[in-house]
Structure 1
């Protein structure tokens, strides 16, 4: 196993080399049978062209009605819960669905499930392969994973200890560690009941797995000392209920917050070569080098970089000649339109244009929702200081907050802003709560979302008299005793103003620190550096129970990129969440 293989590469290799390749031959084609859960696992890391190279003629859902293919082998890759559907395919001995059966389960099959398989004689005699592959999770990115458990919070935070959700999380987490060959040191906040229960359940299940798989090895164990044992840090949302609420203006986070993404797919309307507008489907994943490079960059850098690249591309690929032939200088849009007529340039320009379009779509929403003013308030609330590094007076800031809420046209943003206030200030007075709710015009459902924060351990009612100065439990360490701001990060405040011209070359104003967003700020999470790096030492696995947001995923990459010791950071969760989904999770606590 290569020391530099990412988690996503490991899963891909496991599916192709360990599952599919041994079951196919050069002369026969097979059919891959999946359930909805295993289909999502495969789709997250393997493309159809790769399956065809393994002589897979089609991928069929086991839940759907299918025509029998008795001359072909069937490779089943399913969850144990689908065992009845597998057996049903072979109920009719005279009309079996497939010739031979290669049966792979994503996790451990229960004793009851094994008994059912043993009793299914028509199926049993056709089984050529039987294995538990331990791949009950998704790997959308190279160093991230989630368990495909988009949970409501009710079973996590309202049910008594020992609920089945904790068992589901622990069981799926075992498959992650089994795939990476990790027997980690487990760390958790002892104040978190959910993290403590998950840690205990995970430890027990991993030990059971090891006892049942004596040939399995782990990094740091005997004869495998090239890398030391990993560390698994278990967190849950009660340790940080604030971060998913904040607006983040890096490219990936902004897309997921403001635009209608469905997983890694988005559809938008764009002009075609014929001049007519038509829907265009885009996949935003690591197969796109441009996405890989830009996803963690600030939106201002994205627009500037794309604009410069389009201009350079046009100039170096015939744009100058086209302009010369026209007898006058051509604009960027005119040169781009001319290049679209040249087939050899269409693909490259199309990729640049689609990202430019999406980035500008984000900025359009940014402007329409007045996120510049909203995010300015968010930053002051969460850091405890204003744009000049001064601690504001409490009454002044609350009055400003009320003004913003009264003029805001997006109710979700109002809910988020009030929640940020309550969390950061460790409570709110009854009078201020009434004023904020009234200014925002909240309905009962929206009010209940905010009040449900208490069930995540957030203090709602302030128990002591506030001082005149506005204070915050998240006071920024960048504020020095002089009251001046440390300008080490030009994007300490994420708000940006869009450039003047349509090409987006205008630099974005840094409204928090008064600086200018420009090329001097580089992306510290260079994907090429991470892909080519040979990691040493034990992996650092951070697992967030209750959903991880895209700004936290980005932070994991930044820690890994800035770690000179070569430590590999893996960020995982029950699911990846967007701000709107997070509000729904909290709403479920009612």
Structure 2
């Protein structure tokens, strides 16, 4: 699945290329055997499944996939490749391996192996004699799509970043830097990077400075980078989630964002998120109906489009897929080429051509998800809620008139008292209103406020406790998100002059003047409920067009070697997590850069859904919630038991099961 020569690669492409060229091909070359066994731990399995299916892995020489902590049958005549996270637990299991278990061991770690862990290996000479290669892949993050990646940190680390413990803050920043370094090195060599951050943000500043020190150490230490890194010039802007706490709370009605917001997606299985339909669970018929899949062209085409637009086009694409497939036409008797097909025809095509069943099942998953999103919009009071949200964050009505605080507050009260509005939606709306009312001036450092309601009138009229009283919400767990956000905003307010800068500074006035001369930024809104453009739009455009002043966004150079020429990369990273709406926005901007030999990528500590953001805020206010939301994710499951019966043919008389269940 190579990209065209004239197309700039993204982070998913690079991640996938690292797995194929930097891992699978290396093992086959080193082992000089047509097949080998793959042994993984739970976390490394998540990394592998980000960009490759188990079927693809098997097609590249893997005859059997094993979990390191499960009993395994000895295969002394077969080479084994271990892909492990360099944790003490995984290394301890590795050194306890019987050297006679496999013919040879090829070791790959998802990130750098600490000296103390490497010393454990050296203390096992019998085992090390069987080790034929050892590599560090530097893939300890997750490439979600070509324009977006995640570090996979629970709750985005927000309770650690904004809690009361300095120790947890330091640990979180160090973890972010370690994984972000891997993402940076995958796309460009260390010396290619420039790193910028807002002086207003302590988390962003700490991450940026430590990242530059880490990348500089790679250069001074003589450590070589991936020679296939595509970009010769790269700029990273590090910001923190609190530069924009409202975008994670606003309803976004683009397909992927809405599906992750209002539907129950199954993310426990390999290969990507699945959707089975409202109230349904996995079964044999749709267990493989993967919804979010970077290799499915139809999903990529529609994931960032408004659900109303997708609704009118998706069924047409499904019809076109069947009609245009020459083989399918042959198997549908009695129908002329191009003749419209009914459900019975489609069923016959699937039965006659099982190789197309997977594609059609994914179409079906998308249709199910889309229909349920539209149904929830109609029945879940989302239209009324979204209109109030849009007024809040834009400061303008759908007709373009300036909103009045009193009227907007009245609309909020009506929703809080409405019986048809659920408690979760009331908590979310209240938290959003709080974010608008108590946000600090420094949070608008990219030029212009997100709402005219953040002035004195709205601030003075908004009362958090009154909102909860009107909504009849008294449970500490339900009020915790707003209380957590209030604690963060108060901490920001009291941070002192070293943390903030004056909105009225001459530098900031210079930015505002410059922005007026830029081409029109705002994307025309086709729907009243989708007027708001996330903060990252202006921030990214300023970065790409050179309007971020160094006094407000200092620039740190990793190397004195001048960068220039060749392909250019811009990366925006959110400490604390990035949202689906921001993924969509950056993808749109990156499309606009086509022809400029530049690409834009965004990433975050995690991918934040609205519910995940609320939980992370709750973890700041409540210690018991904090311990829950910061737990590592549950291990991924293999595919269905039905698929575990599949065999992989080998180039010898021996056959080995490909374990997938």
**Distance of 1:218 and 1:311 partners within structure 2:** 44
Q: 1:108 to 1:227 in 2, by over 3 A?
A: closer
1:304-453 to 2 correspondence within 5 Å?
A: 304-310=312-318, 335-343=342-350, 347=357, 350-407=361-418, 408-426=420-438, 428-429=459-460, 432-442=463-473, 443-453=475-485
Q: 1:433 to 1:351 in 2, by over 3 A?
A: closer
Native 8 Å contact 1:71 1:99 kept in 2: yes
Identify unmatched segments of 5+ residues in structure 1. 271-275, 325-329, 462-476, 478-485, 496-511, 514-534
Partner residue of 1:87 out of 95, 98, 109: 95
1:481-520 to 2 correspondence within 5 Å?
A: 489-494=524-529
The reply on whether 1:456 has 2:488 as its aligned counterpart is: yes
The alpha-carbon deviation at position 210 of structure 1 amounts to 2.4
Q: 1:306 to 1:215 in 2, by over 3 A?
A: closer
Q: 1:49 to 1:307 in 2, by over 3 A?
A: closer
**Distance of 2:323 and 2:70 partners within structure 1:** 52
Give the secondary structure class of the aligned counterpart of 1:70. Answer: strand
The reply on whether 1:125 has 2:132 as its aligned counterpart is: no
**Distance of 2:334 and 2:489 partners within structure 1:** 64
Native 8 Å contact 1:314 1:335 kept in 2: no
Q: 1:336 to 1:86 in 2, by over 3 A?
A: same
Q: 1:313 to 1:49 in 2, by over 3 A?
A: closer
Q: 1:27 to 1:280 in 2, by over 3 A?
A: closer
1:579-590 to 2 correspondence within 5 Å?
A: 579-590=610-621
Partner residue of 1:30 out of 18, 36, 51: 36
Report 1 or 2 for greater relative contact order, CA contacts < 8 Å, sequence distance ≥ 6: 2
**Distance of 1:311 and 1:199 partners within structure 2:** 49
Native 8 Å contact 1:235 1:543 kept in 2: yes
The alpha-carbon deviation at position 218 of structure 1 amounts to 7.9
The alpha-carbon deviation at position 309 of structure 1 amounts to 3.8
1:103 is matched with which residue? 107
Partner residue of 2:591 out of 552, 561, 572: 561
Native 8 Å contact 2:266 2:275 kept in 1: no
**Distance of 1:573 and 1:368 partners within structure 2:** 33
1:515-530 to 2 correspondence within 5 Å?
A: none
TM-score, normalised to structure 1's length? 0.78
Deviates more, 1:374-383 or 1:170-179: 170-179
The reply on whether 1:41 has 2:72 as its aligned counterpart is: no
Cα displacement string for residues 242-297 of structure 1 (whole angstroms, at most 9, x for unaligned residues): 10101000000011001111343224259xxxxx9965542121221110111011
**Distance of 2:127 and 2:25 partners within structure 1:** 22
Native 8 Å contact 1:73 1:99 kept in 2: yes
Identify unmatched segments of 5+ residues in structure 2. 440-458, 494-511, 513-520, 533-564, 622-661
Native 8 Å contact 1:189 1:196 kept in 2: yes
**Distance of 1:173 and 1:386 partners within structure 2:** 40
Q: 1:545 to 1:180 in 2, by over 3 A?
A: same
Give the secondary structure class of the aligned counterpart of 2:51. Answer: coil
**Distance of 2:20 and 2:522 partners within structure 1:** 48
1:532 is matched with which residue? none
Partner residue of 1:232 out of 236, 242, 252: 236
1:123-272 to 2 correspondence within 5 Å?
A: 123-151=127-155, 152-158=157-163, 159-160=165-166, 163-183=170-190, 184-216=193-225, 228-263=232-267, 264-269=272-277
**Distance of 1:207 and 1:32 partners within structure 2:** 34
**Distance of 1:253 and 1:42 partners within structure 2:** 24
The alpha-carbon deviation at position 430 of structure 1 amounts to 7.7
Native 8 Å contact 2:275 2:369 kept in 1: no
Q: 1:452 to 1:261 in 2, by over 3 A?
A: same
The alpha-carbon deviation at position 206 of structure 1 amounts to 1.5
The alpha-carbon deviation at position 354 of structure 1 amounts to 3.3
The alpha-carbon deviation at position 544 of structure 1 amounts to 0.8
The reply on whether 1:290 has 2:310 as its aligned counterpart is: no
The alpha-carbon deviation at position 338 of structure 1 amounts to 4.0
Native 8 Å contact 2:37 2:80 kept in 1: yes
2:25 is matched with which residue? 21
Q: 1:52 to 1:491 in 2, by over 3 A?
A: same
Q: 1:280 to 1:73 in 2, by over 3 A?
A: closer
Deviates more, 1:406-415 or 1:189-198: 406-415
The alpha-carbon deviation at position 589 of structure 1 amounts to 0.3
The alpha-carbon deviation at position 227 of structure 1 amounts to 5.2
The alpha-carbon deviation at position 315 of structure 1 amounts to 8.1
The alpha-carbon deviation at position 429 of structure 1 amounts to 4.5
Cα displacement string for residues 104-149 of structure 1 (whole angstroms, at most 9, x for unaligned residues): 1222221211211111122111111012221211112122211121
Give the secondary structure class of the aligned counterpart of 1:153. Answer: helix
**Distance of 1:269 and 1:250 partners within structure 2:** 18
TM-score, normalised to structure 2's length? 0.70
**Distance of 2:76 and 2:433 partners within structure 1:** 64
**Distance of 1:488 and 1:235 partners within structure 2:** 23
Native 8 Å contact 1:548 1:577 kept in 2: yes
Q: 1:457 to 1:280 in 2, by over 3 A?
A: same
Give the secondary structure class of the aligned counterpart of 1:243. Answer: coil
The alpha-carbon deviation at position 239 of structure 1 amounts to 0.7
Question: Which one has the bigger helix percentage?
Answer: 2
**Distance of 2:51 and 2:462 partners within structure 1:** 52
Aligned residues: 509
The alpha-carbon deviation at position 396 of structure 1 amounts to 2.5
Native 8 Å contact 1:269 1:280 kept in 2: no
The alpha-carbon deviation at position 560 of structure 1 amounts to 0.6
2:602 is matched with which residue? 571
